[in-house]
Structures are given as C-alpha cells and as structure tokens.
Chains A and B, each alone.
Chain A
C-alpha cells in the first residue's frame, strides 16, 4: 500500500553538525507515497532507490520518513536528518542486485522490520 523514496547516495557537508542534521545519507527513507505512485524522472537511480512495500499501510510508512528531533522550548531541533534507513548491506543477494541495477525492489512488511533500521 506504500512506496518509499530512498536516498541512494550520501550528501555531505564540511560542517560536522550540518552533515548529520541536514544531509541525507545512503539508505535514508526520504518520503513515502501510495502504491503505484508516478515518480519523477530524477526520482530513481542514481540518486534514489524505490522500495515498494505493498504490505505496509501508507500511514505507517510515513512514520519511517521522519527526522530524529529534540524539543527545545517551542522548537523541534533536528538531530539526525532521517531516523530510519534501509540497511542495503544485509539484503539478500537478489534484492541487493536488483537495488543496484534497477533501483527498485519490493519488500514485505516483515522484511521492512528486518531491513529498515533506526539509527538510534
């Protein structure tokens, strides 16, 4: 019921704080859209992967595309750009290969719980 747009390459910044707080890293879940979403021309390799998660409700999928924040007064300060990431290094070989060559894979909801991890 959902699809993830996942960053496929690291962005970096020489400011160490901004590098963590602002830059997307490889594997970061950028955003979630409904099943069958028509992605744009740039929303694929080499910049992004598409991860289809038909067994995951869109509302739940949105919960993976969030930052790690700390409330300071009335402001939510971003600590980490994205809290959840696809750990592509532990994908089974066929999925890993498809991700690297086609940029699109499908995961079950159970596989999401295994391969999508929190950074904290």
Chain B
C-alpha cells in the first residue's frame, strides 16, 4: 500500500506557492518510493503554467492535484476559491500539461488565457489520466484562447474525464486525437459556447466514448467526428447530433446561463432525469456530480455535470476533504 505524501499549496504559509513549484519539488521516482504525492490546493489564484513531467509513476503510485472540499468551487467559477489562471507571454501553450502517467486532477478551476488557438486548459500527453470535478474556461477579458481539454496522448491507454464543466473555449471544449489504442471516456460533461463541443479527431483508430454529456451553444457542432458505439444518453441542441443510443435534443435550461452558471436548473426538461446510471459502469463508475451531490436525485441520473437536487432532500456523497471517486475502495474503476 503506497504512502500518500501531501503538500499544501497556498499563497502564504503553505509548502508551495504554485503548482509549478510543487511539481518541480516533488519530481521523482514514486514507484521506487512507493508513494502517491499530492498537492492540496487552497484558495488563491495560481498564475503559473504547470507541466507535470519527469516523474516515474504507475497506476497506484501517481501524482494527484486536488482541492479539499472547503477550497473547492461550488459548480460555478468562484474567485474566492483555488484557481489556476495563467496568461501566456513566454511560450507556454497550455495551462496544465500532463505528461506523467496516471496523473489525477480533481476539483480545479482552470482558466485558459493563452494567445494561441492551439492552447488548452489541460493537455493530456500520458495514459491513465483522470480529470474530474473541474471547471475550465477561457479567461473572459482575453480575446484568444484555445481548447478546454486536449487529449493527444498516442499510447495504448485510457483517459477518463467526468463531472466537468467547460465553457467559452473558443476552439474546442474537448478534443481527442484518436490514436490507435488510446481510449478516452467522457462521462457527465457539460460544454457550452465553443466552436465544437466534443471533437473526435480520427488520427488513427482510437476510441472516444461519451456518456451523459451535454453540448450546447457551440457554434459549429456539438459532437463532431466518430464516437464509440458504447456512447449513450448524450444531449445536444443540434438535431441528430448527440452520438450513441438514447440521444436527447433540445435547449438545456441552466441555473443562470447569462452569468455562467451551468448547473442544471430544476425546471429543465431536456437533460434532467434523462441520463444513464453509471454507478456500476464497467469502465468509469461514480455516484456523484461536480459538487458532490449524490446521483440520482430524481427518477434517473441527469445528463451533464450537475445533478438537480431533489426538493427537501439532496445531500452530498462527498465528505469534506475526501474525493468522491475512490477507485481503490469502490472497485468501480476499470479500464
């Protein structure tokens, strides 16, 4: 059983003052050390781009970046919580570049503020990456910026993304280069206001599976390219666009779209109670939403990153300080 080594990221009084410094300081052979090394991110604006590369990692000894419950967003961009907000002047093209195997990103707010159309909030260059409970957006005062998440890793392995909201990314919300052997699983994602919401690029013969995903207000297409036949219960505001079985078409009602609150509104009739139950999914199982609300609240799972809380009830699956996804305990993560 590996040892978990936790370092705090704070603007003052913590172990590190940026993710970039944490990564530089914690680089090493985690397999030899038999450690999980994690960055516990507190409420401040981290203005340094981060490349996670150079460590020796595997499926059980990896790097993890997360926010504890008290420091995490509430489903809407929150300037009072931890966020990575980088504006590029010196060559970085991604706010986060993940090049170490099995890196986990959980609960972050990431602004893509880079003046290149190929830039990404998160670029994935390694297998086994998990991204969950995040909000990714283009920084609102900049005219340029690129993708939300760019999965470009070209090895046999899986990338898993769930319970995440991406908005205002001018180019792509999630773009996947489908290299042979590479599998990307996107479950309960909400993408709003990109050019293409979910872009499956046929670089070779890889796989992109989308389940319970919403694509809305994307200028050219909600779901572009080929998605795996296992895709299901996706929703687009463009007719005949949502891939897989049980597609939904229509305009989803968010809590406050004009003010960038993309949590699902209780009045919604398009995505609410229309999703597939993924609690026992063979490849990416979980039971909560982006802010830890237990799924389902109604008669079925909601499509998208958030679950509408049942009137008079609800309740968080996540205990403070704990991840809602505990693959070591649940046994629900496979693939």
Contact = CB atoms under 8 A, between A and B. Distances in A.
B21 interface: yes
Contacts, number: 95
B54 A11 contact: yes
B312 interface: no
A10 B16 CA distance: 19
Nearest to B17: A40
Contact of B53 (A18, A33, A48): A18
Interface string B77-91: 000000000000111
Interface in B7-52: 7, 9-18, 20-22, 24-25, 27-29, 48, 51
A43 interface: yes
B116 to A, nearest CB: 9
B21 A40 contact: yes
A101 B65 CA distance: 32
Interface of B: 7, 9-18, 20-22, 24-25, 27-29, 48, 51, 53-56, 89-93, 99-100, 117-118, 152
Given A42-B7, A43-B16, A62-B89, A78 B51 contact: yes
A19 B55 CA distance: 9
Task: Please give me the 6 A-B residue pairs with the lowest Cβ-Cβ distance, nearest first.
Answer: A22-B54, A22-B53, A23-B54, A11-B27, A74-B118, A42-B15
Contacts of B89: 59, 62
Contacts of B9: 40
A33 to B, nearest CB: 8
B6 to A, nearest CB: 12
Interface of A: 5, 7, 11-14, 18-19, 21-24, 30-31, 33, 37-43, 47-48, 59, 62-63, 65-67, 69, 74-76, 78, 81
A30 B24 contact: yes
Nearest to A62: B90
A33 B46 CA distance: 12
A85 B24 CA distance: 14
Contacts of A48: 21, 24-25
Nearest to A7: B24
Given A31-B20, A40-B17, A42-B15, A81 B54 contact: yes
Contacts of B7: 42
